[in-house]
Structure 1
Amino acid sequence: MKKLNKALALGMAGAMALSMAACGGSGTTSGTASTASTAGTTSGAADGEVVNLTWVTVGNGQPTNYDAWLEQINPYLEEKIGVNLDVQVVSWGDWDNRRNVIVNTGGEYDILFTNMNTYVNDVHIGAFADISELVKTSSPELYASIPEDYWDACEIDGKLYGVPTYKDSSISEYLVWDKELAEGTGFTIPEAMPMSDLGTLTDTLTAMKDTKGEASFPMNKNGATWVAFEYDNMGTGLLPIGVRYNDETATVVPVLEQPDIQASLNTFHEWYQAGIINSDAATKPEENAYKPCSVAQGWSGAAITSWGPQMGVDAQATKLGPTVISNDTVRGSINCISANCAYPEKALELLQLVNTDSYVRDLLYYGVQGDNWDYTDDTKQWVHKNNADWTMAGYTQGSFFAVTPSDEFDFNQYDEVKELNENAEASVLLGFTLDTSAFKDQLANCVAIYERYKGELLSGTRPTDEIVPEIMDEMRKAGFDEIVAQCQEQVDAFMATKGTTTESAPAESTSAAESTAAESTSASSAA
Structure 2
Amino acid sequence: MVGKQKKVLHLFISLVLVLTLLAACSNNSKTNNEPSPAPSKSTTTEGTNAEGNESSSSGIDTSERVELQFYMLGNAPKDLDKVEAQVNEWLLEDLNATVKFNYTTWTDWDQKYRLLLSTGQDVDLIFTAEWTQYQQYAKNGAFMRLDELLPVAAPKLYEFVPQDMWEAVKIDGNIYTVPATYKEYVTGGFVWREDLRVKHNLPKPVDIETFEAYLAGIKQNEPNIQPLAVGQDVGATLEDAYLDFQRQRVGAMPYGLHASYSDPSNIVGYWGSEEHLTDLKRYKSWADNGYFSKNELNETDGNQDKLTNGTAAAMLSDNPTRYNSVLNQMKALHPDWDLAYHPYGLTLGYATPVHPIHNGFAVPKNSKKAERALAFYELMVTDKRYNLLTQYGFEDVNYTVEDGYYKMIGDNTTNGFVREAMNGWAWRNPEYMIFEPSYDGVEAIFNELDKIQVPDIYTGFAEDYTPYQAERAALEQVEKQYLYPLMAGLVDDVEDGLKTFMEKANQAGLEKIQESYKQQWLQYLQESGHN
Q: Normalized against structure 1, the TM-score is what?
A: 0.68
Q: CA deviation at 1:162?
A: 0.9
**Residue 264 of structure 2: aligned partner:** 248
Secondary structure at 1:248's aligned position in 2?
A: strand
* Pairing 1:181–2:193 present: no
For residues 246 and 417 of structure 1, the distance between their equivalents in structure 2, rounded to whole angstroms, comes to 23
Note the alpha carbon deviations across 1:258-282, whole angstroms, 9 max, x for none: 6765554443333344x24246256
Residues 431-510 of structure 1 mapped to structure 2, 5 A cutoff = 431-461=460-490, 462=492, 465-499=495-529, 502=531
Q: What is the total number of aligned residue pairs between the two structures?
A: 451
8 Å CA contact retained: 1:170, 1:330: no
For residues 280 and 367 of structure 2, the distance between their equivalents in structure 1, rounded to whole angstroms, comes to 48
* Pairing 1:298–2:319 present: yes
8 Å CA contact retained: 1:375, 1:383: yes
- Which segments of 5 or more consecutive residues in structure 2 lack a partner in the other structure? 1-40
Q: CA deviation at 1:136?
A: 6.5
Q: CA deviation at 1:487?
A: 0.8
8 Å CA contact retained: 2:46, 2:55: no
Amino acid at match of 2:392: Y
8 Å CA contact retained: 1:169, 1:330: no
For residues 292 and 496 of structure 1, the distance between their equivalents in structure 2, rounded to whole angstroms, comes to 44
* Pairing 1:269–2:284 present: yes
C-alpha distance 31-473 of structure 1, shift in aligned 2 (>3 A) = closer
C-alpha distance 126-370 of structure 1, shift in aligned 2 (>3 A) = same
For residues 336 and 293 of structure 1, the distance between their equivalents in structure 2, rounded to whole angstroms, comes to 37
8 Å CA contact retained: 1:439, 1:483: yes
Which aligned segments of 4 or more residues in structure 1 are displaced greater than 6 angstroms? 27-32, 38-42, 49-53, 94-102, 420-423
8 Å CA contact retained: 2:117, 2:142: yes
For residues 396 and 138 of structure 1, the distance between their equivalents in structure 2, rounded to whole angstroms, comes to 22
Amino acid at match of 1:216: P
8 Å CA contact retained: 2:84, 2:100: no
For residues 381 and 449 of structure 2, the distance between their equivalents in structure 1, rounded to whole angstroms, comes to 16
For residues 415 and 277 of structure 1, the distance between their equivalents in structure 2, rounded to whole angstroms, comes to 31
Larger CA deviation: 178-187 vs 334-343: 334-343
Amino acid at match of 1:439: Y
**Residue 65 of structure 1: aligned partner:** 82
- Which segments of 5 or more consecutive residues in structure 1 lack a partner in the other structure? 1-26, 503-527
C-alpha distance 33-178 of structure 1, shift in aligned 2 (>3 A) = closer
**Residue 13 of structure 2: aligned partner:** none
**Residue 3 of structure 1: aligned partner:** none
8 Å CA contact retained: 1:165, 1:398: yes
Amino acid at match of 1:270: S
C-alpha distance 227-176 of structure 1, shift in aligned 2 (>3 A) = same
User: Of residues 391, 395, 400 in structure 2, which corresponds to 1:365?
Assistant: 391
8 Å CA contact retained: 2:227, 2:291: yes
For residues 222 and 42 of structure 1, the distance between their equivalents in structure 2, rounded to whole angstroms, comes to 41
8 Å CA contact retained: 1:265, 1:458: yes
Amino acid at match of 2:519: E
For residues 120 and 297 of structure 2, the distance between their equivalents in structure 1, rounded to whole angstroms, comes to 39
Amino acid at match of 1:86: T
User: Of residues 91, 113, 120 in structure 1, which corresponds to 2:127?
Assistant: 113
Residues 272-421 of structure 1 mapped to structure 2, 5 A cutoff = 272-273=287-288, 275-278=289-292, 280-281=294-295, 284-286=298-300, 289=306, 290-299=311-320, 300-302=323-325, 304-306=327-329, 313-321=337-345, 323-324=351-352, 330-331=357-358, 333-336=360-363, 344=371, 347-348=373-374, 350-369=376-395, 371-376=397-402, 381-386=404-409, 388-390=415-417, 393-395=422-424, 397-399=426-428, 401-405=430-434, 409=437, 411=439, 415=443
For residues 30 and 270 of structure 1, the distance between their equivalents in structure 2, rounded to whole angstroms, comes to 64
Amino acid at match of 2:339: A
For residues 102 and 476 of structure 1, the distance between their equivalents in structure 2, rounded to whole angstroms, comes to 30
For residues 46 and 150 of structure 2, the distance between their equivalents in structure 1, rounded to whole angstroms, comes to 26
Q: CA deviation at 1:416?
A: 5.9
C-alpha distance 258-171 of structure 1, shift in aligned 2 (>3 A) = farther
Q: CA deviation at 1:206?
A: 2.3
8 Å CA contact retained: 2:202, 2:217: no
C-alpha distance 277-376 of structure 1, shift in aligned 2 (>3 A) = closer
Secondary structure at 2:434's aligned position in 1?
A: coil
Q: CA deviation at 1:362?
A: 0.4
8 Å CA contact retained: 1:54, 1:85: yes
Amino acid at match of 1:367: G
User: Of residues 219, 222, 234 in structure 2, which corresponds to 1:212?
Assistant: 222
* Pairing 1:198–2:208 present: yes
Amino acid at match of 1:213: P
Note the alpha carbon deviations across 1:23-52, whole angstroms, 9 max, x for none: xxxx998989569xx899872349xx7986
* Pairing 1:156–2:156 present: no
Amino acid at match of 2:312: K
Q: CA deviation at 1:298?
A: 2.1
For residues 417 and 368 of structure 1, the distance between their equivalents in structure 2, rounded to whole angstroms, comes to 30
Note the alpha carbon deviations across 1:384-417, whole angstroms, 9 max, x for none: 444632396132550263443255x454577468
Secondary structure at 1:330's aligned position in 2?
A: helix
Note the alpha carbon deviations across 1:179-231, whole angstroms, 9 max, x for none: 232223323425xx3xxx31344444323211112553354454314223454
8 Å CA contact retained: 2:144, 2:362: no
Note the alpha carbon deviations across 1:4-36, whole angstroms, 9 max, x for none: xxxxxxxxxxxxxxxxxxxxxxx998989569x
Q: CA deviation at 1:356?
A: 4.2
Note the alpha carbon deviations across 1:31-82, whole angstroms, 9 max, x for none: 89569xx899872349xx798673512352783325751377449x84xxxx
8 Å CA contact retained: 1:43, 1:343: no
Q: CA deviation at 1:432?
A: 1.6
Q: CA deviation at 1:479?
A: 2.3
**Residue 104 of structure 2: aligned partner:** 92
Higher relative contact order (CA 8 A, sep 6+): 1
C-alpha distance 148-354 of structure 1, shift in aligned 2 (>3 A) = same
C-alpha distance 32-178 of structure 1, shift in aligned 2 (>3 A) = closer
For residues 297 and 127 of structure 2, the distance between their equivalents in structure 1, rounded to whole angstroms, comes to 32
Secondary structure at 1:355's aligned position in 2?
A: helix
For residues 482 and 172 of structure 1, the distance between their equivalents in structure 2, rounded to whole angstroms, comes to 31
8 Å CA contact retained: 2:47, 2:56: no
**Residue 172 of structure 1: aligned partner:** 187
For residues 499 and 70 of structure 1, the distance between their equivalents in structure 2, rounded to whole angstroms, comes to 45
Could you say which structure has the larger radius of gyration? 2
8 Å CA contact retained: 2:399, 2:406: yes
Q: CA deviation at 1:305?
A: 1.8
Q: CA deviation at 1:434?
A: 0.9
Amino acid at match of 2:487: L
Structure 1 vs Structure 2 CA RMSD: 4.6
Q: Normalized against structure 2, the TM-score is what?
A: 0.68
Q: CA deviation at 1:483?
A: 1.4
